Amino acid sequence: ASITGQTISKTNCPYCGVGCGIEATVENNKVIAVKGNVEHPANLGRLCVKGSSLHETQGLQNRILHPRVKGKNVSWDKATSTIADHFKATIAQYGPDSVAFYLSGQLLTEDYYVANKLMKGFIGSGNVDTNSRLCMASATAAHKRAFGEDVVAGCYDDLSSAEAIFIIGANPAYAHPIVYQRMIKAREENPARKIVVIDPRRTASAKDADLHLAIKPGSDAYFYNGLLIYLAEQGKLDKDYIAKHCHGFEQALETAKSQFSDISDVAIACDIELSLLLESYQIFAETDKVVTFFSQGINQSSSGVDKANAIINCHLATGKIGREGAGAFSITGQPNAMGGREVGGLSTQLAAHLHFENSNEIDLVKRFWQAPNIATKPGLKAVDMFDEVNSGKIKAIWIMATNPVVSMPNANLVKRALEKCPMVVVSECYENTDTINYADVVLPASTWGEKQGSVTNSDRTISVHQSMIKAPGEAKNDWQIITDVAHKLGFKDAFNYQHAVDIFREHAALSGFENSHPLAEKKAEKDIYRVFDISALANISQSDYENFIPTKWPINVANPNGVQRIFTDGVFATKNQKANFIPIIAQLPKILPDKTQVVMNSGRIRDQWHTMSRTGRVAKLMTHSDEPYIAVNPDDAQRFQLADKQLAVLSNLSADYIGRVNITNEQRTGEIFVPIHWNDNFSASARVSALVNPITDELCGQPELKHSPVRIKPF
């Protein structure tokens, strides 16, 4: 503490996958100011408007202060006993798959770790899924197919050193502002650098681009398959890299060719001018250092895994990967989507990048945890999970730090499902979330500034959030709440954690357990190699944890200070150590509009976060856009008799969305855009996801949130 009574803490922004470092000034149990941490590698001192307003989001307004059962305040003991008794009785009668946890990329890694351990190791079900399923599942599955493991090979510094950046399915100017500023700054310093944006909308990022290709929604894999063909035809392949480090190139190329007779077919499939297509292909082919930066426009698709692999195929084919300024870079939406994946937050994974497909991997986790009842098969993915709540097969669900009544596709089904579910537990910080209305048990959780624990951002940098102020009322950390329930379920010894660092150490130890590099000199026969290895932190002291210097994994004996880039040696995490080309048949979205419909795209706006439970409290963050809107092309406005600034209603799946018409040439004809943030607490009929068909990618279960045919008419 200083002479003024103020303290400075180094912590992180909780909003997006960039994971900016923050210096927070604390006085009288209040964060009174924030600024960017110049030492944090993600932001080097910068913050966007959301991050720099963090201290203004505090206060008791709408905070949940006490546990509640059926609407009445109760003690923690009563609340956790109610949950444990109900879960125990349900499991005894219907088996472990009759219960589920639905988690969030907002949770810290330690929270995720204990929730996953309790469900998969001790209750004995794989039914732990997360809202990261709506965000990252496609990229995760694509990484595994190509590299053998869910690994982002590059880092943010590559965005500064790339000579060309292809931004596809992302609008970082709004959704990831700090990494976007890096790209723009690098181009200012060297105007020869090119930014190519491939997006049906003329977004803020597209307006800054050297080249914008407004492709047909969903045609991304056609674009990258076409690029693969172009690279081969123009003699721009890195044949040496393909031969030494990759597998399956010929088949991937032949499959891409099977859909086109020549490149002009690609332009037709993507609905763009051939000259623009060729100009972009030429930039990729002629530039040594190229990064493809992709996000939800690729992932939130019924063929998102294939789209991501089509991108990776082109980087492998040219050796533009695993080196400075080159790679396929998947950026996460949420602050800890990657940390959640590290500990098995998705129902299809075990912890520590291990998987259900291999019985040796299940056995490894079982032995490490001394788990009495390890799950042996994947659990339900998000959309299926809520379907099974609706069908009655899942009879108890615990939802933590997320708002599925707003965010899930076909969100009115989620509402109905929770209404009839015998036990809905919701861990939350704020009262004004739609999901809380369906909770039998409400648990007050601590939030940013109050809780300590680690996160991993999109470029593998692990940072530690600090507890700087006391949580209000009886709010507790999520890991503590889960641990309390685990104790009441009879698992006291395995969940004997006093502090977040105890969990972190165990997580770090598991990552290194029977794990060694395939080329390591000392290697036990049973070792199962995973790149994700932070075993050098398995004995970290509390003080080092509290003053943790942000570091990129792996962090192990060979790399005690972390690793900037992975796969630089061309050794991948597959069995044969080669990267896999994946043959891709490009596909359009599963449900196309009929003549009476338009295609609804949805996404973030600049100053809001998720369902606004935090950013909606700051007046200045509402000034950029203060109500739900519908961006409509002038042709469609005429066709549907819509005037600028009037209200219009969208409908699908017996649900409506009401927003103000914004007529703009930024939209292609037949396509509209709506922001995702508003919900029924802020504006009637503004839950966009209620209009989204529950169509998912068969390979990963991620819903097609970017492409929903809807009807539109004046309100």
Q: How far is the CB of 175 from ligand SF4 (least distance, A)?
A: 8
Per CB under 6 A, contacts with ligand SF4 among 670-699 are none
By Cβ distance, which residue is nearest to ligand SF4? 51
Residue whose CB is less far from ligand SF4, 103 or 179: 179
- Read off the amino acid at residue 213: L
Residue whose CB is less far from ligand SF4, 53 or 602: 53
Stretch of 13-21, 144-152, 353-361, 539-547 contacting ligand SF4, by CB under 6 A? 13-21
Residue whose CB is less far from ligand SF4, 16 or 285: 16
Q: Total residues at the site for ligand SF4 (CB under 6 A)?
A: 14
Residue whose CB is less far from ligand SF4, 20 or 528: 20
Q: How far is the CB of 427 from ligand SF4 (least distance, A)?
A: 23
Instruction: Verify binding: residue 540, ligand SF4, rule CB under 6 A.
Output: no
Residue whose CB is less far from ligand SF4, 194 or 460: 460
Residue whose CB is less far from ligand SF4, 45 or 634: 45
Residue whose CB is less far from ligand SF4, 50 or 395: 50
Stretch of 16-24, 63-71, 466-474, 616-624 contacting ligand SF4, by CB under 6 A? 16-24
Distance between CA 213 and CA 200 in Å, rounded?
Answer: 7
Instruction: Verify binding: residue 20, ligand SF4, rule CB under 6 A.
Output: yes
- Read off the amino acid at residue 461: T
Residue whose CB is less far from ligand SF4, 13 or 650: 13
Instruction: Verify binding: residue 18, ligand SF4, rule CB under 6 A.
Output: yes
CA distances from 603 to 76, 105, 144, 175, 672 (A): 38, 17, 26, 9, 11
Residue whose CB is less far from ligand SF4, 176 or 415: 176
Distance between CA 406 and CA 399 in Å, rounded?
Answer: 13
Distance between CA 675 and CA 289 in Å, rounded?
Answer: 34
Residue whose CB is less far from ligand SF4, 20 or 555: 20
Residue 176: which of 48, 341, 57 has the closest Cα? 48
Q: How far is the CB of 132 from ligand SF4 (least distance, A)?
A: 16
Instruction: Verify binding: residue 48, ligand SF4, rule CB under 6 A.
Output: yes
Residue 53: which of 430, 606, 687 has the closest Cα? 606
Distance between CA 137 and CA 701 in Å, rounded?
Answer: 7
Stretch of 47-55, 298-306, 315-323, 560-568 contacting ligand SF4, by CB under 6 A? 47-55
With contact defined as beta carbons under 8 Å apart, do 285 and 250 qualify?
Answer: no
Q: Give me the phi and psi of 606, to 5 degrees please.
A: -65, -45
Instruction: Verify binding: residue 19, ligand SF4, rule CB under 6 A.
Output: yes
Q: Which residues of 478-511 are buried (b: 16+ CB within 10 A; e: fewer)?
A: bbbbbbbbbbbbebeebbebeebbbbbbbbbbbb
- Read off the amino acid at residue 138: S
Strand, coil or helix: 543: helix
Residue whose CB is less far from ligand SF4, 15 or 430: 15
Instruction: Verify binding: residue 47, ligand SF4, rule CB under 6 A.
Output: yes
Q: Which of 11, 13, 482, 540 binds ligand SF4 (CB under 6 A)?
A: 13
Residue whose CB is less far from ligand SF4, 50 or 145: 50
Q: How far is the CB of 8 from ligand SF4 (least distance, A)?
A: 18
Q: How far is the CB of 21 from ligand SF4 (least distance, A)?
A: 9
Q: Which of 16, 142, 237, 655 binds ligand SF4 (CB under 6 A)?
A: 16
With contact defined as beta carbons under 8 Å apart, do 289 and 161 qualify?
Answer: yes
Q: Which of 15, 224, 281, 504 binds ligand SF4 (CB under 6 A)?
A: 15
Residue whose CB is less far from ligand SF4, 51 or 659: 51
Residue 431: which of 467, 465, 472 has the closest Cα? 472
What tokens appear for 250 in the block? 């010929």
Residue whose CB is less far from ligand SF4, 177 or 409: 177
Stretch of 41-49, 190-198, 239-247, 387-395 contacting ligand SF4, by CB under 6 A? 41-49
Quote the distance between the C-alpha of residue 194 and its chain's center.
27
Instruction: Verify binding: residue 177, ligand SF4, rule CB under 6 A.
Output: yes
Q: How far is the CB of 54 from ligand SF4 (least distance, A)?
A: 8
Query: Which single residue is written with the structure tokens 């520590």?
Result: 352
Query: Which single residue is written with the structure tokens 């962090």?
Result: 555
Instruction: Verify binding: residue 34, ligand SF4, rule CB under 6 A.
Output: no
Q: How far is the CB of 13 from ligand SF4 (least distance, A)?
A: 3
Quote the distance between the C-alpha of residue 665 and its chain's center.
30
CA atoms 459, 463, 469, 475: torsion sign: positive
Distance between CA 333 and CA 296 in Å, rounded?
Answer: 8
What tokens appear for 457 in the block? 């951002």
Q: How far is the CB of 436 from ligand SF4 (least distance, A)?
A: 24
Cβ atoms within 10 Å of 616's Cβ, excluding its own: 22
Question: Where would I find the beta strands (DSSP E) of 56-163?
Answer: 68-69, 72-73, 99-103, 128-130
Q: How far is the CB of 329 from ligand SF4 (least distance, A)?
A: 15
Our separate counts of H helices and E strands in the chain read 23, 26
With contact defined as beta carbons under 8 Å apart, do 658 and 684 qualify?
Answer: yes
Residue whose CB is less far from ligand SF4, 177 or 327: 177
Q: How far is the CB of 181 from ligand SF4 (least distance, A)?
A: 9
Distance between CA 167 and CA 163 in Å, rounded?
Answer: 13
Q: Which of 178, 213, 380, 443 binds ligand SF4 (CB under 6 A)?
A: 178
Per CB under 6 A, contacts with ligand SF4 among 436-475 are none
Q: How far is the CB of 618 from ligand SF4 (least distance, A)?
A: 13
Stretch of 15-23, 182-190, 595-603, 649-657 contacting ligand SF4, by CB under 6 A? 15-23
Q: How far is the CB of 521 from ligand SF4 (least distance, A)?
A: 40
With contact defined as beta carbons under 8 Å apart, do 479 and 453 qualify?
Answer: yes
Please count the CA atoms within 13 angstroms of the CA of 576 that sit on its side-chain side.
10
Stretch of 12-20, 545-553, 612-620, 690-698 contacting ligand SF4, by CB under 6 A? 12-20
DSSP lists the bridge partners of residue 130 as: 103
Binding-residue pattern over the window 205 to 224 for ligand SF4, x denoting contact by CB under 6 A = --------------------
Stretch (H or E) spanning 502: helix 500-512
With contact defined as beta carbons under 8 Å apart, do 31 and 467 qualify?
Answer: no
What tokens appear for 136 in the block? 């990252």
For the chain, what is the radius of gyration of the CA atoms? Answer: 24
Cβ atoms within 10 Å of 191's Cβ, excluding its own: 8
Q: Which of 24, 34, 40, 50 binds ligand SF4 (CB under 6 A)?
A: 50
Q: In what order do the strands lie in the sheet with 99-103?
A: 72-73, 68-69, 441-444, 423-428, 396-400, 99-103, 128-130
Residue whose CB is less far from ligand SF4, 13 or 413: 13
In this structure, the strands spanning 194-198 and 21-27 are: unpaired
Residue whose CB is less far from ligand SF4, 332 or 403: 332
Q: Which of 11, 26, 51, 313 binds ligand SF4 (CB under 6 A)?
A: 51
Chain contacts with ligand SF4 (rule: CB under 6 A): 13, 15-16, 18-20, 43, 47-48, 50-51, 176-178
